[in-house]
Structure formats: structure tokens, C-alpha cells
Amino acid sequence: MTVEISGKFAALREKGEGALIAYVMAGDPTPEATPKIVRALVRGGADLVELGMPFSDPVADGPTIQAAGGRALEAGMNPGRYFELVAGLEVDVPLICMTYYNLIFHYGPEAFVKKCRDSGISGIIVPDLPVEEAGELTAACGRHSVAPIFLIAPTTPENRVERVLSEAGGFIYLLSRLGVTGAHPGEIGASAKALLARVGTNLPKAVGFGVSTAGQAEALIRAGADAVIVGSAFVNIIASNQDPEEREELEKQLEALARELKTGIRNAAGAAAETVPESGQNPELPENRDRGLENRSNTEKFVQYGKI
């Protein structure tokens, strides 16, 4: 039961809604627990689910997700079990695989992407693979209709933005800030808003890294994001509910956080569609930081999402 990313975003747009993308590490706390965790996230309102495939040396991850990967590896998670687990998930949201390149390289990019498609995965994110080195992976993605999802950082200059966008599929992953993954409650900084404003694309824009509260989610959607990505906040809940006897409590908490985040995203929906600012403003000027709204309205008009 594969759900495509483009279809999902199109359906949400019909409803005038932003998307919640939830990340958890597959196999944390155990491979058996993951399907229930994913279903809880979807019940709470997650529109897409990113499933981490644990790697021993996750350089783009902060302590929370590093520890989750450690627990998953300890519990016996490996690429083979990952694909089995995903194939048996039976949820009606797009599933995205997030992992580091050595696991894909070792498996063979062609075989890995095919296996993703066969297991029901519709997109791949590889945080240590810039477009320069991604040729083999994107080619395989093209052959097997899996979206290669790329990241754009606050440090990415204009010419690189174009290059990244030309290779990207599914949605574009905008980093809210510099640094590694990890929950950072507090106000969404100017860099996330500036990035939303300056990246012009027909792909849905999803903002991640540091997003953990409903207020942040709402602010990002208002600033022009089509989706917010929340990982460490969910993983923190899993980390503090490791007891196998307490799985129901864990599921309840995950579902509740997903619901809260989705409510924040829905709150923003009306407001975002109403404003249509003038074009040609300088996103660097503070008064124009909300220029992302313009892109938002462009996105509204646009029918086709992505390559896939």
C-alpha cells in the first residue's frame, strides 16, 4: 500500500492544510514496537512518516537521535529487517526512508532503491549525501519512482539552491537552522523564515531540525512552509518510555503530540492563504521576512508537485 508524496500533498492542498511529517527511528525501542508507534503517529495526524534506518556514525544527528539509533542497532535492526518491517506497516501515509550513505552504498544504490519501492517507501533522505555525490542514487530513484529528497541549509547559496532543486523530488527539506537534529523549543528564528522566502520551487517546502512544538509548527506554516518535520520530540517520548509493559502509554503520548502539532498546523492554514504580499521584496529585510507567504500562494496555484 504505497502512498505517493505528491498525491498526499495534493490532497492536503485541497483541504487547505499543511502537512505534519513525523520522524522516528525504526527499531527503537524494538523492531516489534515500530508498527504500533507508526500507527499511533498516523492516528494523531501525521501526514507522512520518516523512518530512520540506524547507522553507527550519524554525523548529522544530535544526541537524541544518536541514542535512538544506538538502541535500534542494539535491538537488532538492520537493513533487511527494516525493509520487512516497512513492508508490513499497512498505513495510508507516504513512508520515507532516512539513512546515511554508507548503508546504501554497501547495499548497492540500485538494489537499495528497488527494495525501498518494493517495501512501500516513496522517498529517500540521505543527510550526508550532497547533490554532487548523488548521481547513482538519483538515477536509481528515477528508475524505481522513489523521490530523492534533498536538504537546503541556511548556508546554501543561490546557485547551489538551484542545483539542489534540479535534482530534488518529493519535497524539499529546509533546515530551520545550522547544526544537527534536536528539539529546540522557542521561537522559530529568522533564518528559517528567510530560507522559506528565498527558496522558490514548485516542490512542497518542509522545514525541519529543531521543530518540536505546536507553536513553532504554526509559525512555520504561516511563514510559508507546506510541511513541518518533527523528529527528536517524538524520539524523546520513545526514549523515556522504554518499558515493554508501558507500550500503550507510549503510543498515547506519541499520538497526543502528533495531534497537538497537527492542530497548530491547522490553525495556521486559514491565515496563510489570506495574505498575498507584493512580489520582488528583499527577503533579507526584517519587514519582508514573511515573504514566504508569497511562495505559499504560488504553491497553492501550482498543480504538479515534484518529479514523481
Partner 1 sequence: MTGATISQPQTNNSELSESTGPEFGTAGKYGKYGGQYVPEVLMPALEELEEAYEKYKSDPEFLKELDYYLKEFGGRETPLYYARNLSKKYGLKVYLKREDLVHGGAHKLNNAIGQALLAKHMGKKRLVAETGAGQHGTATAMVGASFGFETVVYMGARDVERQHPNVYRMELMGTEVKPVHSGSSTLKDAINEALRDWVTNVEDTHYLIGSVVGAHPYPEIVRDFQSVIGKEARTQVLEKEGRLPDSLIACAGGGSNAMGLFYPFLKDKDVKMFAVEAGGKGLTYTKKAALHSASLCVGTEGVLQGARTKILQDKHGQILESESISAGLDYSGVGPELAHLSETGRVQACYAIDEEALEAFHELSRLEGIIPALESSHALAYLKKAAESGELGEMVVVNLSGRGDKDLDSVFKLAGRV
What the block records as the C-alpha cell of 245 is 509493559
Site map (CB under 8 A) of partner 1, residues 169-198, x = contact: ------x--xxx------------------
Comparing CA positions, the residue from 77, 74, 58 lying closest to residue 66 is 58
Q: How far apart are CA 291 and CA 93, in angstroms?
A: 30
Q: Which is nearer to partner 1, 72 or 254 (CB)?
A: 72
Give the catalytic positions in this structure.
50, 61
Residue 163 CA to its chain's centroid (Å): 20
To the nearest whole angstrom, how small is the minimum distance from the Cβ of residue 83 to partner 1? 12
Note whether 133 binds partner 1 by CB under 8 A.
Answer: yes
Per the CB < 8 A criterion, the answer to whether 203 and 226 are in contact is no
Query: Which of 27, 44, 109, 127 is close enough to bind partner 1 by CB under 8 A?
Result: 127
Of 27-35, 105-113, 196-204, 289-297, which segment contacts partner 1 by CB under 8 A? 105-113
Q: Which is nearer to partner 1, 105 or 110 (CB)?
A: 105
To the nearest whole angstrom, how small is the minimum distance from the Cβ of residue 252 to partner 1? 31
Q: How far apart are CA 195 and CA 275, in angstroms?
A: 19
Site map (CB under 8 A) of partner 1, residues 59-98, x = contact: xx-x---x------x----xxx------------------
Query: Which of 1, 11, 32, 56 is close enough to bind partner 1 by CB under 8 A?
Result: 56
To the nearest whole angstrom, how small is the minimum distance from the Cβ of residue 168 to partner 1? 11
To the nearest whole angstrom, how small is the minimum distance from the Cβ of residue 161 to partner 1? 10
Q: How far apart are CA 196 and CA 175, in angstroms?
A: 10
Q: Which is nearer to partner 1, 41 or 207 (CB)?
A: 207
Per the CB < 8 A criterion, the answer to whether 97 and 79 are in contact is no
Contacts 24+ apart (CB under 8 A), 142-147: 142/307, 143/110, 143/113, 144/113, 144/114, 144/116, 144/117, 145/117, 145/308, 146/113, 146/116, 146/117, 146/121, 146/122, 146/308, 147/5, 147/6, 147/122, 147/123, 147/171, 147/306, 147/307, 147/308
Q: Which is nearer to partner 1, 56 or 240 (CB)?
A: 56
Q: Which is nearer to partner 1, 45 or 69 (CB)?
A: 69
Note whether 106 binds partner 1 by CB under 8 A.
Answer: yes
Note whether 275 binds partner 1 by CB under 8 A.
Answer: no
CB atoms within 10 A of CB 178: 11
* Burial (CB count within 10 angstroms: exposed 0-12, middle 13-18, buried 19+), residue 156: buried
Note whether 167 binds partner 1 by CB under 8 A.
Answer: no
Per the CB < 8 A criterion, the answer to whether 113 and 141 are in contact is yes
Q: Which is nearer to partner 1, 109 or 292 (CB)?
A: 109
CA Rg value for the chain: 18
Q: How far apart are CA 9 and CA 227, in angstroms?
A: 9
Q: Which is nearer to partner 1, 129 or 268 (CB)?
A: 129
Site map (CB under 8 A) of partner 1, residues 26-55, x = contact: -----------------------------x
Residue type, 267: N
Note whether 130 binds partner 1 by CB under 8 A.
Answer: yes
To the nearest whole angstrom, how small is the minimum distance from the Cβ of residue 165 to partner 1? 12
Q: Which residues bind partner 1 (CB under 8 A)?
A: 55-60, 62, 66, 73, 78-80, 101-103, 105-107, 127-130, 132-133, 150-157, 160, 164, 175, 178-180
